[in-house]
Structure 1
């Protein structure tokens, strides 16, 4: 054995320290764990911040809008004078319905407020809603046998008195800075001292249409308009969107044209909604001459906006079905159409319905496209059909938010709460359908 060989044999083995051991590795491990803890803290902080902002939003809306679900009423002594209501004494309901209820209201303010001058009478009539005389008429028509007697009747208060009763009008402000002057304030205090002021559930908010007077404004007309518009939107976007997705996913050849169509569909999903409003204005109203501010035009416009969402969701649901399902059906002799409609589509239907409901929820909350087609008009009646003038809940909220009266602020917040309830309900239905019928492969 040579000397060089003996030197190599007797030389101590050189130990190479592993990069995953030692002080440096421990330091890197601690730094990585600190980084992971910071990332988790950031994520938890983001979630808590989002929940906090949501709670703040809902609490603000609730604080401003819950009062709209009640309405102030005033009890007054009413002398149902036969000379005004039924001068002939025949108890003819047609005569009673056309009686002088404005004169009866004048007698009410004279008897209850002591108003004798014309200016004082007009001011005291402002304590009550503009529809107070119709409330009197309905009471008399329901109880014609009470004509000639004196009855205590609860009448709806005006919007200013309602805001005063709910504490939204500062009594300490100077008279020229209040919507309620000192004389009306004295009348209100006198009525309140006699327990003649109370609040009742505001059924008119859910059963009435829009009105210039906040105490008379309701959301029923806008709700019916939203329902009619969404019905048209669904009847157009669902079948067209689903069949388009089936063709592109199952039957269309892969070439430059289908690639172009897919890119355009994905791009349309990100187009601002007001662009669809401009398209609806130009095509449906400008070219086809369809009626302005009608649910049919709104439904067509929202269908254009909803189609990309439904197509993308349906294609994703079809892709989620395993290829083995298709192969098994083809192996048993099913045609391509039978494979899709008898096997693939039923299994993908939960995802299809989920995407459709989410698209409908998006359409329910849209405002900009409908503003462009004229659904921003003041509509005081409930729409009677698809071509009748109508508005929708988001547009109704927009109109009320632009009104100067404080009572409309309350109505706006309450309408937002109702709209959020509808959106939450639709999203909850989508989640239930997905969890109920979804299959995990």
Structure 2
């Protein structure tokens, strides 16, 4: 009886507590008002923190963009100097044969020097002449040779020509070298600035769009250096990377997601793939150095080696993205295909893979964009070499855009600073384009389930 009585009392107490809990909430009470105010204040603080973080990120992005653009936009124009030049037949074609081999070996640099001395007859000492010759770039002689080879009728004529200026005078014209600075603190002395101002007063100085920046390879002279060689090297490297990493990565993702048995071995493989995606890129460079250069003896600095190395680095990213896209396809698609008599391979190839392809392509493009911006692995396999010629195939020596930026950033000339920033702008444009393509493909082909 005692136990029964205590049990009844416990039940009565529990019912009383439950009835207390079921009492209506007094929303107008002071305690409830304070609680609501605290929650609203906490929500406002959370929103403020989020907006502050976004604004700081945008401010940092704007600051970075301004820093790059302000230093690099001037690289897209180049200073040209007009001089009156005589195509002396005694220098260009002394025998009058018009033989292209003879015309190609002529001393066009001497013609430019003669024109400069004629323009400034007061310059007589050897040291002053050397400074005077710096007004015109050393690459201008190659332009003259091409003009004569294309049009031999120029021989014997006197023409006013616009020739590309040297890098220091280009910096002076763009305002990076100031005439107000003390002579000892600038690269051009008072005489050189005076000659340049003389040409300016005669309207013999102008800026033009710098097409060489997009058509030339690398050069020791900043005014002649361009990104085309590095761009072609990046193209060949990414082609090799894509041809290797895309089919292998997609095939591995299909097997692991659709056909692999769920056992310890596949779990170990999945864990290692996820770990490889976080491995520093320079480790893949060391692997490529040992495997492709020291063991397989492939050509050093070739895009094929860079593509093979970047394919190893890109594979985990493509596999993970492809598996996520395949997993996102509803199981009902597979069940319907199997129910209608399709084999597992037909189910994957005809139904699952087409529906997962937008996500697969998105992951692949993001992986390729990551590969495009990599530098460390390519430095390890020798793609840091100074390459002037434009590569003709994936087996030729080449460099890539990030490595070209690295090389220019290490150069002492002030003109290479703007080249570096301009190359960064081009690289960022490619990366934005590739990421925009990934977003476009996802939005265009993505299906809502």
Instruction: Report the TM-score, using the length of structure 2 for normalisation.
Output: 0.93
Are residues 1:246 and 2:241 paired? Answer: no
Query: Which residue of 1 is the match for residue 350 of structure 2?
Result: 342
Give the one of 157, 175, 183 matched to 1:149.
Answer: 157
Structure 1 residue 374 and structure 2 residue 414: aligned?
no
Distance in 2 between residues matched to 1:118 and 1:81, nearest whole Å: 23
CA distance in structure 2 between the partners assigned to 1:24 and 1:133 by the alignment: 88
**Separation in structure 2 between the aligned mates of residue 308 and residue 19 of structure 1, nearest angstrom:** 55
How far 1:15 sits from its partner (Å)? Answer: 8.1
Are positions 1:99 and 2:74 aligned together? Answer: no
1:318 corresponds to which residue? 326
CA distance in 2, matches of 1:176, 1:113: 24
Q: Residues of 1 paired with 2:156 and 2:267: CA distance?
A: 82
Structure 1's 286 and 197: CA in aligned 2 closer, same or farther, altered over 3 A? same
Matches within 5 A, 1:91-170: 91-114=98-121, 115-170=123-178
The Cα of 1:140 is off from its aligned counterpart by 2.5
Judging changes above 3 Å, is the alpha-carbon distance between structure 1 residues 412 and 15 closer, same or farther for their aligned structure 2 residues?
A: closer
Alignment of 1:164-203 (within 5 A): 164-203=172-211
Q: Distance in 2 between matches of 1:79 and 1:116?
A: 20
Task: Give the superposition deviation at 1:18.
Answer: 5.1
Structure 1 residue 183: deviation in Å? 1.1
TM-score of the aligned structures, taking structure 1 as reference length:
0.94
The 3-state SS of whatever aligns with 1:96 is helix
- 1:170 shift after superposition: 2.3
Question: How much is the aligned-residue C-alpha RMSD, in angstroms?
Answer: 1.5
Picking from 415, 420, 425, the partner of 2:433 is: 425
Deviation per residue, 1:90-132 (Å, 9 max, x gap): 4333322222213212211211122333322222111111111
What is aligned with 2:12?
none
CA–CA distance in structure 1, aligned partners of residues 222 and 55 of structure 2? 37
Query: Using the alignment, how far apart are the partners of 1:408 and 1:15 within structure 2?
Result: 79
Task: Give the Cα separation in 2 of the matches to 1:285 and 1:20.
Answer: 78
Give the corresponding residue for 1:352: 360
User: 2:417 matched to which residue of 1?
Assistant: 409
CA contact (8 A) 2:109 2:138 kept: no
Q: Using the alignment, how far apart are the partners of 2:332 and 2:61 within structure 1?
A: 44
- The match for 1:45 among 42, 49, 52 is 52
Match of 1:232 among 233, 236, 240: 240
- 2:213 aligns with 205
Describe how 1:258-277 pairs up with structure 2 within 5 A: 258-277=266-285
Tell which deviates more after alignment, 58-67 or 16-25. 16-25
Asked if 1:436 is matched to 2:436, the reply is no
Counterparts of residues 27-38 of structure 1 (less than 5 Å):
27-38=34-45
Write the distance in 2 (CA, Å) between the matches of 1:113 and 1:133. 19
- What is the total number of aligned residue pairs between the two structures? 428
Find the aligned partners of 1:399 and 1:154 in 2 and give their Cα distance. Answer: 30
Quote the offset at 1:299 in angstroms: 0.5
Paired with 1:94 and 1:376, the residues of 2 have a C-alpha distance of: 35
Greater Cα shift, 22-31 or 159-168: 22-31
CA distance in 2 between counterparts of 1:297 and 1:208 reads 23
Q: Of 54, 58, 61, which aligns to 1:54?
A: 61
Instruction: Give the structure 2 partner of residue 74 of structure 1.
Output: 81
* Partners of 1:146 and 1:228 in 2: CA distance: 40
CA distance in 2, matches of 1:327, 1:259: 25
CA distance in 2, matches of 1:100, 1:368: 43
How much does 1:389 deviate? 1.0
Deviation, 1:335, is: 0.4
Shift of 1:341: 0.5
Distance in 2 between residues matched to 1:15 and 1:437, nearest whole Å: 56
3-state DSSP class of the match of 1:386? coil
d(CA) in 1 for partners of 2:395, 2:377: 17
Gaps of 5+ in 2: 1-18
Give the secondary structure class of the aligned counterpart of 1:362: helix
Structure 1 CA distance for aligned equivalents of residues 351 and 157 of structure 2: 75
Aligned with 1:374: secondary structure? Answer: coil
Q: Deviations over 1:279-335 (max 9, x none)?
A: 111111121111111111100110000000000000000010000000000000000
Whole-angstrom CA distance in 1 between matches of 2:398 and 2:364: 24
Residues in 1 aligned to 2:20 and 2:241: alpha-carbon distance in whole angstroms: 75
The alpha carbon displacement at 1:199 in A equals 0.7
